[in-house]
Structure 1
Amino acid sequence: MQVVTAQCRELVEVFTGLRPRQFQRLVRAVHREGGRALGPDRPGRPWALTLEERVLLVAMYCRTNLTMRQLAPLFGISPAAVGRIISRHGPLLVLAPGKRKPGRHQVLIVDGTLVPTRDWTVFTSSKNYRYSANLQVLIKAETRVVLAVGRPLPGNRNDCTAFAESGSEDACGNATVIADGGYQGTGIFMPHRRQAGQDQLPDWKEQHNASHRRVRARAEHAFVRMKNWRILRDCRLKGEGVYWATSSVAHMHNLALSRA
């Protein structure tokens, strides 16, 4: 017996963090990415659930971080079927790259976040005392919308190195980018620092730092909202799964910010 269905709007909002119209936009995006390979007339074993319910299952997995054994009875299918749906549809939820790179008039914020993971073969112990991946995230300063998510790197990699290696630097285009003091040598706008032997900064530099902090805090606000999807608190996926989980959460975060 199936407990959770896509037709129950109240459950959709509770288990995905998206309003019904936002969830339908997510379903359409998955359908565009998957195309005919997700259709009911495709060759091979038929899907046990409709496309809407498959997308609901993956979104619910990201939101609640329930295990496959816990999700299976809620959808009336086997744990193996849940695993197949997650592995096949999960990468289709990722944030689509922008058609154009940001221009000079745009202001972006870049910051790294640590996503704890169980994959000890790829990622390493980091400053949160857990095996984590370093994900560089680009955020539009005006809207708090996530523009891009970099490729995952070991959690002990510093941000100035991860910014270039993850591909985030290429995604910035010609935009003005600001960040905290961990991005030295990258050409990004950072807070002013005291020089050797300097007791305090001049007043104009303190004012610049204060305004810089107010804008940069929007990235932290975005991270707090994104980590309402609990998969970013303890990701059990291996390898590239950490990337698609974070990018999928960024996609749903953007949809949740929209008024549709």
Structure 2
Amino acid sequence: MMQVISAERQELVEVFTGLRPRQFQRLVQAVHRAGGQALGAVRPGRPWSLPLRDRVLLVATYCRTNLSMRQLAPLFGISVSAVGRIINRHGPLLALAPRKRKPTSNDVLIIDGTLVPTRDRSIAASSKNYRYSTNVQVLVTAETRLVISVGRPLPGNRNDCTAFSDSGIDAACGKATVIADGGYQGTGLLIPHRRQAGQTRLPEWKERHNAAHRRVRARVEHVLARMKNWKILRDCRLKGDGVFWAASCVAHMHNLALGG
């Protein structure tokens, strides 16, 4: 079977991954450090069908285009089962690595949740987008718009204030000031001022604070919109932990694309 897409053809890398060749090479190096060269644990004596660069390209293409495994197989010149093995083995290796330095009181972070439609109803629920989705919490830095953590997916009918703690993303906040929208009441995060009972409007100084709050918080909305350019977050066919590593892979690639 002839291979159509290869990492050797650098003009195709950005088309199928959203990363420039230099950024893609950094992704390959990260996978190599995580053990991407090792053979599969189930059949350790069986060699991979593709070199490491092409295996990383396959997983990145899968996240970017959301093509099915049957569609990817002829593009990479391998069998459907080989595509499945590569995605299952290397997908988690592309995921965003935990940050070594905990955020301090000098850091400003922004958090928001996004709905990721998925077919796995064991981790999804019918939500406000009228589809079975998961609630994925994303934490970014206010200054750089880089993603520093992705929470564990929860059913899409969970509200954000519950998902903040249940997804485990609260542990990634450290001592930083964290900005959020009004859905995070009771979490201790910095949320907009709200009218009290009997108030028709907020005092002018609170309106000014809310306007400044919205301008900063919009940055996480921009990040979520850019992450949805990787179409696996528009309709994720993976099950179980696959939804988490898909969102984490996209976060990693978003950071590489944003970092230049």
TM-score range relative to shorter protein: over 0.9
Contact 1:38 1:51 in 2 (8 A): no
Contact 2:115 2:133 in 1 (8 A): yes
Q: Deviations over 1:65-93 (max 9, x none)?
A: 00000000000001111001000100111
Counterpart of 1:56 in 2: which secondary structure? helix
Q: What are the residue-to-residue correspondences of 1:31-180 with 2, within 5 Å?
A: 31-34=32-35, 37-38=38-39, 43-180=44-181
Counterpart of 1:236 in 2: which secondary structure? coil
Unaligned runs of 5+ in 2: none
Q: Tell me the amino acid that sits aligned with residue 51 of structure 2.
A: T
Q: Tell me the amino acid that sits aligned with residue 196 of structure 1.
A: A
What is the rounded CA distance, in whole Å, between the counterparts of 1:24 and 1:120 in structure 2?
Answer: 36
Pair 1:202-2:210 in alignment: no
Where has structure 1 moved over 6 Å in runs of 4 or more?
A: none
Aligned pair in 2 of structure 1 residues 237, 252: CA closer, same or farther (>3 Å)?
same
Counterpart of 2:139 in 1: which secondary structure? strand
What is the rounded CA distance, in whole Å, between the counterparts of 1:219 and 1:33 in structure 2?
Answer: 28
Shift of 1:120: 1.3
Q: Tell me the amino acid that sits aligned with residue 27 of structure 2.
A: L
Q: Tell me the amino acid that sits aligned with residue 57 of structure 2.
A: L
Q: TM-score, normalised by structure 2?
A: 0.97
Contact 1:3 1:75 in 2 (8 A): yes
- State the match for 1:22 in structure 2: 23
What is the rounded CA distance, in whole Å, between the counterparts of 2:162 and 2:122 in structure 1?
Answer: 21
What is the rounded CA distance, in whole Å, between the counterparts of 2:193 and 2:176 in structure 1?
Answer: 20
Shift of 1:122: 2.4
Shift of 1:38: 4.6
What is the rounded CA distance, in whole Å, between the counterparts of 1:53 and 1:116 in structure 2?
Answer: 28
Q: Tell me the amino acid that sits aligned with residue 114 of structure 2.
A: T
Aligned pair in 2 of structure 1 residues 35, 84: CA closer, same or farther (>3 Å)?
closer
What is the rounded CA distance, in whole Å, between the counterparts of 1:89 and 1:30 in structure 2?
Answer: 8
Shift of 1:10: 1.1
What is the rounded CA distance, in whole Å, between the counterparts of 1:168 and 1:206 in structure 2?
Answer: 29
What is the rounded CA distance, in whole Å, between the counterparts of 2:65 and 2:36 in structure 1?
Answer: 27
Q: Deviations over 1:82-136 (max 9, x none)?
A: 0010001001110000111100010000100010000012211111111111111
Q: TM-score, normalised by structure 1?
A: 0.97
Q: Deviations over 1:46-75 (max 9, x none)?
A: 111000000000000000000000000000
Counterpart of 1:251 in 2: which secondary structure? helix
What is the rounded CA distance, in whole Å, between the counterparts of 2:44 and 2:235 in structure 1?
Answer: 35
* Structural RMSD (CA): 1.2
Q: Tell me the amino acid that sits aligned with residue 38 of structure 2.
A: A
Aligned pair in 2 of structure 1 residues 36, 229: CA closer, same or farther (>3 Å)?
closer
Q: Deviations over 1:17-54 (max 9, x none)?
A: 00001000000101111255259xx9411111000000
Percent of aligned pairs sharing the same letter: 76
Aligned pair in 2 of structure 1 residues 253, 43: CA closer, same or farther (>3 Å)?
same
What is the rounded CA distance, in whole Å, between the counterparts of 1:100 and 1:250 in structure 2?
Answer: 18
Counterpart of 2:184 in 1: which secondary structure? coil
What is the rounded CA distance, in whole Å, between the counterparts of 1:223 and 1:102 in structure 2?
Answer: 21
